[in-house]
């Protein structure tokens, strides 16, 4: 008899992220400016026909990355974007109907994977004032829970956790034997990291990506960090040769070319400061800018603004309904000042 996994029939996925290249793309938290062209040229100049013909060799790059994050190569499993890393942690560390605790709203793939694998995703909502009360998370950390997902900072809410809050959550997780996944996709925009927990606890993982500050979303490269025996279990789930030589070369150039990361961070900080200052001067309420994105309460209808930004200004942004006390909001990716100027000029014209 033909078989189809019944979980797939009603599983909702979004695959409409195409034909965006002629727009200013402030909708998916990419870096609209991208990497300096010299980095790309440098990396490509080392790509030979032989390298392209070979399956990618990851050992050298993993060593470079390990040095950067002050860990060992055995602490790292490379993945095809961190979305893949998240999937593997869920697959490896939760079982059929297993309870997964996650805050909402948040990166939607946590729920998609939970549904795909038949897990029980338990939502912990934000308060109206857009805060996350960790007591609400602690309450859900019951004996039957298998995985707690934290984002540092969260997308789309842009909130962060204090050292004390994370210490409390990890302590409870250990008491109840719950694995913890900390998604640090937006690390560098907000420098605090909880990677030390992953390096020192068997059941704590951190996932990171090269898609955001590293401006390499088109290359698909991410990784999981954890203790060697735990990461080895994640590694077992990977498809053979799940990363590619272009991603590895470009990422290596970013990590090893003096000043590149600092310049990316400086440019971003300048863009963020400009945008926030402009919003304050123009009486816009906004929230959650710890990542490379921000919620803005528009003066007119959020959904219509998204449409007009696209059709009249060639700018892509997103709308989010019912964002606590802010109501219907725009979520806008933050990039270099020049792109923020383009956006604020458009907002001034359209939002009245």
Ligand X SMILES: Cc1ncc(COP(=O)(O)O)c(C=O)c1O
**Part in contact with ligand X (CB under 6 A); list of ranges 75-83, 113-121, 305-313, 338-346:** 75-83
Contact yes or no for 268/186 (Cβ under 8 A): no
Instruction: Kindly give the pairing relationship between strand 293-296 and strand 286-287.
Output: antiparallel
Chain positions 285 to 304 lying near ligand X, rule: CB under 6 A, are none
Q: Which stretch binds ligand X (CB under 6 A): 37-45, 80-88, 119-127, 316-324?
A: 80-88
Give bridge partners of residue 209 from the DSSP assignment. 222
Rounded Cα gap, residues 246 and 92, in angstroms: 28
Q: Smallest distance, Å, CB 83 to ligand X?
A: 3
**Stretch in the footprint of ligand X (CB under 6 A) among 3-11, 44-52, 209-217, 334-342:** 209-217
- Binding of ligand X at residue 81 (CB under 6 A)? yes
Q: What is the footprint of ligand X within residues 133-162 (CB under 6 A)?
A: 151, 155
Give 32 or 350: the residue with its C-beta nearer to ligand X: 32
- Least distance (Å) between residue 345 CB and ligand X: 26
Considering only residues 3 to 22 of the shown chain, the ones binding ligand X according to CB under 6 A are none
Residue 168 preceded by cis peptide, ω within 30? no
- Tell me the C-alpha distance between 45 and 201, whole Å: 41
Note whether 210 and 219 are within 8 A (CB). Answer: yes
Is 211 a binding residue for ligand X by CB under 6 A? The answer is: yes
CB of 155 to ligand X, least distance (A): 4
State the sign of the Cα–Cα–Cα–Cα dihedral 115, 117, 118, 122.
negative
Rounded distance, CA 247 to CA 252, Å?
Answer: 8
Do 211 and 81 meet the contact criterion of CB atoms below 8 Å apart?
Answer: yes
The CB-nearest residue to ligand X is 81
CB of 58 to ligand X, least distance (A): 17
83 binds ligand X (CB under 6 A): yes
Q: Least distance from C-beta 144 to ligand X, angstroms?
A: 26
111 binds ligand X (CB under 6 A): no
List 24, 26, 29, 214, residue binding ligand X (CB under 6 A)? 29
CA distances to 32, 262, 268, 269 from 25, rounded to whole Å, are 6, 23, 15, 18
């Amino acid at each position: 008899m033909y078989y189809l996994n019944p979980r797939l029939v009603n599983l909702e996925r979004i695959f409409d992220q195409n034909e965006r290249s002629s727009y200013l793309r402030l909708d998916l938290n990419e870096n609209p400016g991208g990497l300096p062209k010299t980095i790309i040229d440098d990396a490509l100049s080392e790509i030979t026909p032989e390298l392209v013909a070979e399956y990618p060799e990851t050992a050298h790059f993993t060593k470079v990355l390990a040095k950067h994050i002050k860990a060992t190569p055995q602490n790292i499993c490379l993945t095809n974007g961190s979305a893949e890393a998240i999937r593997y942690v869920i697959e490896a560390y939760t079982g059929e109907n297993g309870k997964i605790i996650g805050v909402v709203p948040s990166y939607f793939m946590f729920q998609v994977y939970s549904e795909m694998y038949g897990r029980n995703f338990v939502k912990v909502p934000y308060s109206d004032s857009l805060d996350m009360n960790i007591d609400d998370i602690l309450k859900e950390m019951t004996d039957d829970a298998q995985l707690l997902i934290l984002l540092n900072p969260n997308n789309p809410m842009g909130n962060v956790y204090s050292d004390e809050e994370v210490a409390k959550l990890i302590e409870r997780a250990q008491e109840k034997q719950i694995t913890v996944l900390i998604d640090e996709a937006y690390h560098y925009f907000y420098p605090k990291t909880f990677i030390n927990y992953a390096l020192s606890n068997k059941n704590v993982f951190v996932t990171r990506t090269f898609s955001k500050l590293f401006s390499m979303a088109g290359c698909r490269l991410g990784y999981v960090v954890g203790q060697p025996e735990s990461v080895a279990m994640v590694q077992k789930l990977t498809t053979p040769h799940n990363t590619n030589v272009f991603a590895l070369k470009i990422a290596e150039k970013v990590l090893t070319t003096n000043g590149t990361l600092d310049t990316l961070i400086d440019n971003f900080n300048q863009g963020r400061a400009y945008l926030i200052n402009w919003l304050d001067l123009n009486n816009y309420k906004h929230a959650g800018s710890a990542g490379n994105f921000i919620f803005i309460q528009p003066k007119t209808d959020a959904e219509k603004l998204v449409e007009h930004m696209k059709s009249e200004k060639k700018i892509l942004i997103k709308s989010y309904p019912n964002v606590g006390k802010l109501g219907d909001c725009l979520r806008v990716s933050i990039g270099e000042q020049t792109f923020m100027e383009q956006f604020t000029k458009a907002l001034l014209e359209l939002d009245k």
